[in-house]
Amino acid sequence: MATTLETGAAARAASRGYPDLHDHIESLRDAGLLHVIDAPVNKDTELMTLVRWQFRGGIPEADRKAFLFTNVTDSLGRKYDMPVVVGALASNPAIYSIGMGAALDDIGPHWDRAHANPVEPVTVEDAPCQQVVVTGDALRGEGKGLDALPVPISCPGFDSAPYFTATCCVSRDPDTGIQNMGTYRAGLKASDRLAVKFFVNMRQGGYYHWQQYRARGERMPFAVVLSCPPALAYVGPLKMPYGVDEVAVAGGVVGAPIRVVKAKTVELMVPADAEIVVEGFIEPDMLEPEAPFGESHGHVNTEEYNFIMEVTAITRRKDAVLSTIISQVTPSESSVIKRVAYEPKLLAHLRDHLGIKGVRRVSMHEPLTNIRRVLFVVFERGVPVTEIWRALYGASSLDSSWGKYVIAVNEDIDPDNGDAVLWAMAYRANPALDVEILRHRDRGHGPALQRGDGQDATMLIDATLKADMPPVALPKKEYMERAKALWEKLGLPALKPEAPWFGYSLGDWSEEWDAMAKRAAEGHYLENGRRSAQLRRNDVAPNTSIRDVPDAKRDI
């Protein structure tokens, strides 16, 4: 691979103002975030399945890496001279941070600056993505065109074809000329034909453009761009307002103009530093059965009629690397890309746009639920209940596909710990007072609903503290820390502390009780017994709180 991924990544990136995929792979290698697999691996049955294990095998998020396969084969015994990289965009947040060129804590502000300061692309004539151009008869036939690319099968046993997943698909508004770039799946149908899926209910830009071309009775020019520079790859999956040029926003991400070049056979501008570009036209009036395919919502999208792309050219770098993405059941590379960007976006919406005070953070639940369905808004103590409900309504309304369950919790609750969330709901929420149902919601990204005319609903839950509560019934922090040191001294199995791992006050705790506990821990519990003996009386019912007896003597 020394010849394919040449050295000098930093110098090359500096010359154009941003890293391309080759540079990014080298950065991951330098950071120890890349597995290089030189053994033969079957793209149809083994490649994606192997990488899947790092998301379903109990490997901590921080230990997940990108995989570069240099010896790709298929089930027909063919070998490919093009490497395949998986997980290079966001197997974990550290990889995403490297690709963005920003620290994780700065991802939200970095996106905000990019949106506020887009940099228009610059046109070039000589583009790496067009070093090899395949058109005409060279596209047609087994082992040619699309069939010559090492496109993996994502879910062997369910998927009906190899699919492009890490796409940046380019289309153009025929009236304004403004281009859109979105991430849409594209399944191989023939060496010169793709089936493309636009999600109609998610109002994707490519679908709007198709409707315009259909009204004109014209084929829609379309380009499936593969293995883009990271900044472009991250912009594609994000929802931009209709009419915003994602390439200019990507320029804002890197602080430099993205280089674009005119496609060879369609009237579109495509990223010059991509690895591969598939050009063609989408038919205006004919649809074709597409799928089954394992979708990012975690279920298989069964066969349905979708859009047909007739391929007119495939252009690529001489030393192209095909990038694909782990999606389907979350956590996945796809969900990391979205979560790292969406959480600060939603937080900024609540704090800056709605002006809600006391919001500490926003968490989108990732495992299995695909980040969109279950949202948490984390508050400091003492926030007025009206602000909490403004935040719950606001979080559920920012995007039509976000927030089937939106839950407000306090900052002592870890939203990533399901037990802690259920604990808060069990003791801090009254379903009769702290739950609201919003009807007539879009079903969002997921399998079609069979009930309710395809509509869904949202449940808002206020699981924050409404009043002071007694302390969490665990030893205080200092005692747990001492016990942990003793545990380790005794050579017992390694601990992985889970919050809450020590007791703390929730407001309903007095100095008297604190002093009593301190005496007990010091061995002087008998003093507490003498105190309670002085408070005996015969005019109270069992279980009466001492606070409900006004004249009870409680001097220590």
Our CA angle for 239, 240, 246, nearest 5°, is 115
CA 48 to chain centroid: 19
Q: What is the pLDDT of residue 315?
A: 98
Written as six digits, the tokens of 121 are 């692309």
Calculate the average pLDDT of the chain: 93
Distance from C-alpha of 24 to C-alpha of 88, rounded to nearest angstrom: 8
Distance from C-alpha of 28 to C-alpha of 89, rounded to nearest angstrom: 10
**pLDDT, tens only, 403-452:** 999 999 999 999 999 999 999 999 999 999 999 999 988 777 777 777 77
Which backbone phi and psi does 392 adopt, to 5 degrees?
-65, -45
What amino acid occupies position 528? N
Written as six digits, the tokens of 528 are 């507490």
**pLDDT, tens only, 462-503:** 999 999 999 999 999 999 999 999 999 999 999 999 899 999
Task: Scan for tokens 């919001």, then name that residue.
Answer: 359
Cα torsion through 212, 216, 219, 224, rounded to 10: -20
How is the chain split into domains, by residue range? 9-324, 354-462, 477-548
Confidence of residue 118 (pLDDT cuts 50, 70, 90): very high
Written as six digits, the tokens of 319 are 């030393």
Please tell me the CATH code under which domain 354-462 is placed: 3.40.1670.10
Q: What is the pLDDT of residue 203?
A: 66
- Identical fold between 9-324 and 354-462: no
Instruction: Indicate if the pLDDT at residue 552 is higher than 90.
Output: no
Instruction: Indicate if the pLDDT at residue 4 is higher than 70.
Output: no
Confidence of residue 243 (pLDDT cuts 50, 70, 90): confident
**pLDDT, tens only, 43-102:** 999 999 999 999 999 999 999 999 999 999 999 999 999 999 999 999 999 999 999 999
Query: What average pLDDT does range 296-303 have in this prediction?
Result: 91
Pairing of strands 179-182, 259-262: unpaired
Asked if CATH classification 2.30.110.10 holds for the domain at 9-324, the reply, yes or no, is: yes
Looking at the chain, the number of H-run helices and the number of E-run strands are 14, 26
